[in-house]
């Protein structure tokens, strides 16, 4: 078993990555589990530690635009537009891969997803490494992503070498992924850079899902983010999607076990009473209860609340579906996946 150390020394973390060790680090979206994308043994260990299927490509992280040639053979004009406007930030552009980056990193694809995080420790670390760093979200495959170093440790203690201690991730949902390798850009995964923002820059962008719907019998439907095929973001608890608090209450009245509810503050606040270990509505008690005043705040707290529900062995989580606009599109996608349903971008 490996000893996992929690550190804040970025030089030590960078040296470890250069030596082929596994280092988790904070980013503005979620924590990433880093490994040198040019080191086959490190990448093999990374897939094993996560329990990640080898057909799911990893995103390569860089500290700055100047490092792009370490991962990309060529950067299309569309990718440049996105990088200029949104990078560093929560965007991943899929571009042509250079030979530096191992085939195992991209699951044999000739393209590579590249991201420059907008988080000071991540940027500094990646600059110090000065190599492409493959970093999937730092969670065991299939479980909710981690937005705190404590959650990373929960999943990987004894399996990886270091965890860089940082703040809670500011955004809380993974980056927006855009395939820029074809004539028409394709949104593969919704994230904090919203479809509305993307459209102002790239009016011809299509969503992978739309394309599937429109061309369901067509050969054109090859692209895709292979990761979307796999189960994702699922807590152990049973997740039920509801449109309102009232709908959740109908189910709660029928059951005895501990339940959780995460939603938005309703326009017409109900008569609610706090209690020591939860909150009550008309005699019904929720073990864990959160209503957020914005979708951004809901997104930021989402994964950690799913994990907290599992820690408390809550049997059932009610999620109020958020509207499919702005960052709501990304959160709604993760809500559907948490419930074991395929998201709108799948």
Looking at residue 174, the DSSP 8-state letter turns out to be P
Collect all residues with Cβ–Cβ distance below 8 Å to 165 and sequence separation of at least 6: 6, 7, 8, 149
Query: Distance (Å, rounded) from C-alpha 143 to C-alpha 261?
Result: 19
Least Cβ distance, residue 52 to Mg ion (angstroms): 8
Contact region with Mg ion (CB under 5 A), list: 57-65, 135-143, 285-293, 310-318: 135-143
Question: How big is the site for Mg ion, counted in residues (CB under 5 A)?
Answer: 1
Least gap, CB of 229 to ligand TXA (angstroms):
8
Position 59 contacts ligand TXA (CB under 6 A): yes
Minimum distance from CB of 30 to Mg ion (Å)?
Answer: 8
Torsion of CA 139, 145, 146, 151, to 10 degrees: -60
Is 193 or 252 the residue whose CB approaches ligand TXA more closely? 193
Cα Rg of the chain (Å, integer): 20
Separation between Cα atoms, residue 307 and residue 298, nearest integer Å: 14
What residues have CB less than 8 Å from 327, skipping those under 6 apart?
A: 173, 191, 192, 194, 295, 296, 299
Rounded to 5 degrees, what are φ and ψ at 23?
Answer: -130, 120
111 binds, among ligand TXA, Mg ion, none (CB under 5 to 8 A by kind): ligand TXA
CB closer to ligand TXA out of 208 and 281? 208
Q: Which of 175, 194, 290, 320 binds ligand TXA (CB under 6 A)?
A: 175
Three-class DSSP category at 13: helix
Which span (65-73, 103-111, 241-249, 259-267) binds ligand TXA, by CB under 6 A? 103-111
| Closer Cβ to Mg ion, 143 or 322, answer by number | 143
Residues 305, 147: Cα–Cα separation, whole Å: 10
Q: Which position has the token pair 């049997």?
A: 315
Site for ligand TXA in 119-148 (CB under 6 A): 135-137
Helix%, strand%, coil% for the chain, nearest 5: 30, 20, 45
Q: How far apart are CA 284 and CA 313, in angstroms?
A: 18
137 binds Mg ion (CB under 5 A): yes
Could you tell me the smallest distance in angstroms from the CB atom of residue 255 to ligand TXA?
Answer: 33
Encoded one letter per residue, x for contact with ligand TXA by CB under 6 A and - for no contact, window 80-99 reads ------------x-x-----
Residue span binding ligand TXA (CB under 6 A) among the ranges 40-48, 148-156, 219-227, 312-320: 219-227
Give the binding range for ligand TXA (CB under 6 A) out of 113-121, 152-160, 212-220, 265-273.
Answer: 113-121
Which is closer to ligand TXA, CB of 88 or CB of 113? 113
Whole-number Å distance between alpha carbons of 172 and 186:
23
Nearer to ligand TXA, 115 or 318 (CB): 115
In the complex, least distance from residue 33 CB atom to ligand TXA, rounded to whole angstroms: 8
Query: Measured between alpha carbons, how far is residue 310 from residues 127, 317, 338 in Å?
Result: 36, 10, 13
CB of 282 to Mg ion, least distance (A): 38
Q: Calculate ∠ Cα 85-91-18, nearest 5°.
A: 115
Q: How far apart are CB 145 and Mg ion at their closest, in Å?
A: 6
Do the Cβ atoms of 92 and 177 come closer than 8 Å? yes
Stretch that binds ligand TXA, among 53-61, 153-161, 237-245, 259-267 (CB under 6 A): 53-61
Question: How far lies 265's CA from each of 191, 194, 299, 304, 322, in Å?
Answer: 22, 22, 14, 19, 11
Interface with ligand TXA, residue 111, by CB under 6 A: yes
Give the interface with Mg ion as residue ranges (CB under 5 A). Answer: 137
Give the interface with ligand TXA as residue ranges (CB under 6 A). Answer: 27, 29-30, 32, 56-59, 92, 94, 106, 109, 111-113, 115, 117, 135-137, 174-175, 177, 188-189, 225-228
């Amino acid at each position: 078993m490996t000893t996992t150390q929690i550190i804040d020394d970025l030089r030590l973390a960078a040296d470890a990555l250069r030596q082929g060790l596994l280092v988790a680090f904070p980013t503005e979206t979620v924590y990433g589990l880093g490994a040198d994308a040019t080191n086959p043994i490190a990448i093999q260990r990374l897939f094993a530690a996560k329990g990640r299927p080898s057909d799911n490509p990893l995103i390569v992280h860089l500290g700055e635009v100047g490092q792009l040639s370490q991962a990309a053979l060529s950067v299309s004009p569309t990718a440049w537009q996105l990088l200029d406007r949104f990078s560093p930030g929560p965007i991943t552009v899929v571009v042509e891969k250079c030979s530096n980056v191992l085939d195992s990193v991209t699951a044999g694809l000739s393209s590579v997803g590249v991201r420059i995080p907008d988080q000071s420790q991540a940027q500094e670390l990646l600059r110090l490494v000065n190599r492409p760093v493959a970093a999937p979200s730092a969670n065991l495959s299939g479980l909710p992503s981690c937005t705190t170093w404590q959650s990373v440790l929960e999943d990987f203690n004894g399996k990886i070498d270091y965890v860089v201690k940082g703040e809670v991730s500011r955004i809380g949902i993974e980056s927006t992924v855009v395939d820029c390798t074809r004539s028409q850009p394709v949104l593969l995964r919704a994230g904090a850079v919203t479809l509305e923002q993307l459209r102002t820059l790239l009016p011809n962008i299509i969503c992978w899902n739309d394309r599937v719907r429109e061309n369901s019998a067509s050969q054109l439907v090859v692209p895709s983010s292979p990761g979307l095929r796999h189960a994702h973001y699922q807590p152990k608890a049973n997740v039920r999607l509801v449109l309102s608090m009232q709908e959740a209450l109908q189910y709660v009245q029928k059951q005895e076990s501990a339940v959780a509810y995460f939603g938005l503050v309703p326009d017409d606040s109900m008569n609610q009473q706090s209690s020591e270990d939860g909150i009550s509505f008309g005699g019904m008690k929720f073990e864990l209860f959160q209503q957020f005043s914005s979708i951004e705040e809901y997104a930021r707290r989402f994964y950690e609340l799913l994990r907290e529900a599992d820690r408390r062995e809550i049997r059932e989580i009610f999620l109020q579906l958020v509207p499919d606009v702005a960052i709501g599109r990304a959160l709604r996608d993760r809500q559907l996946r948490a419930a074991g349903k395929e998201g709108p971008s799948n």
